[in-house]
């Protein structure tokens, strides 16, 4: 087969490796290099770096609006285009170019969590299960029929970063299964998504990182997990702005105002919420690194509960 791969972030790299195992990837499409770091130097995407290591041609169009960009894709004579977190909307005129159309690897059990941030939204919502779908792409946002899928449990202590890594590997496995079927002359049967159960995983916004202590502790604990490593939850505790790397919810009744520091021990900083208590166990001060609550209290002995 002649496969064109389109992807940009770390999540897409295992899928690129799976697609390229037999030397069938003839080109990789990825987002243009973007400024990054303190020096704001142009930095290639993780997918571009992987493609260059493998000696695969890299193409970086701003979009597919021009006839020239579509002509360049058509000239590659692709049998299949595999799209994983590419970051560009593909028009129908592009979806129609490959012989078998375009496949997308999506990190949720569709139709739940269509959209940009399915991994974090699943944790934030307290979902017990998630997974990966291999989908035949169509014009709508993650609306295409599902070809293959696989589910996994979301562990109680999973962060957004940990679940991201597990789903990236699972996505590569599901993609490999689909490619294996296609090579054998078996096209996976498309299953239309049900109309019930549709939810949208809206893009993460840094403004969401600021926790509201009037919310229930369980909801805040989920957000701390979901937003690690980005955008990282933050809150004011005892007058100091902290970034929260790890926290758990305690089902504890209290009469304190939300945001009140109830206790500060080696086990954590216990903060009153609208319902229950949030125990902050790993945190970061401005300009510092992530530390345990015990280490934090070494520098803030005034907060320590007798």
Interatomic CA distance for residues 291 and 287, integer angstroms: 12
How is residue 134 written in tokens? 């291999």
Consult the annotation and say whether 181 binds a ligand.
no
Residue 33 contacts residue 105 (beta carbons within 8 Å): no
Residue 183 contacts residue 1 (beta carbons within 8 Å): yes
Consult the annotation and say whether 110 binds a ligand.
yes
Interatomic CA distance for residues 273 and 255, integer angstroms: 10
Residue 80 contacts residue 136 (beta carbons within 8 Å): no
Distances (CA, A) of 225 to 21, 39, 119, 237, 248: 34, 30, 11, 18, 9
Consult the annotation and say whether 204 binds a ligand.
no
Consult the annotation and say whether 111 binds a ligand.
yes
Residue numbering of the annotated binding site: 108-111
Residue numbering of the annotated binding site for (6S)-5,6,7,8-tetrahydrofolate: 108-111
């Amino acid at each position: 087969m002649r496969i064109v791969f389109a992807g940009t972030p770390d999540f897409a790299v295992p899928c690129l490796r799976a697609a390229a195992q037999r030397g069938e990837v003839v080109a990789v499409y990825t987002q243009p290099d973007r400024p990054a770091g303190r020096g704001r130097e142009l930095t290639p995407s993780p997918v571009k770096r992987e493609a260059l290591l493998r000696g695969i041609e890299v193409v970086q169009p701003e979009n597919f609006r021009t006839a020239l960009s579509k002509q360049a894709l058509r000239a590659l004579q692709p049998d299949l285009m595999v799209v994983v977190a590419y970051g560009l909307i593909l028009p129908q005129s592009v979806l129609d170019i490959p012989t078998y159309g375009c496949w997308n690897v999506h990190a949720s059990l569709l139709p739940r969590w269509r959209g940009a941030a399915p991994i974090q939204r699943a944790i934030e919502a307290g979902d017990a299960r998630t997974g990966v779908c291999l989908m035949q792409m169509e014009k709508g946002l993650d609306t295409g029929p599902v070809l293959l899928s696989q589910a996994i449990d979301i562990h109680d202590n999973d962060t957004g970063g940990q679940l991201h890594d597990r789903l990236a590997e699972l996505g590569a496995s599901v993609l490999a299964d689909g490619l294996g079927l296609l090579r054998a002359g078996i096209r996976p049967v498309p299953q239309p998504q049900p109309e019930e159960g549709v939810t949208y995983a809206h893009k993460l916004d840094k403004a969401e990182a600021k926790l509201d202590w009037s919310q229930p502790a369980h909801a805040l604990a989920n957000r701390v997990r979901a937003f690690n490593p980005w955008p990282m939850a933050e809150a004011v505790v005892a007058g100091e702005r902290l970034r929260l790397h790890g926290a758990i919810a305690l089902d504890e009744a209290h009469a304190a105002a939300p945001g009140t520091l109830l206790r500060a021990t080696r086990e954590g900083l216990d903060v009153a919420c609208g319902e229950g208590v949030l125990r902050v166990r790993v945190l970061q001060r401005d300009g510092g690194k992530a530390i345990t609550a015990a280490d934090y209290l070494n520098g803030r002995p005034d907060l320590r509960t007798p």
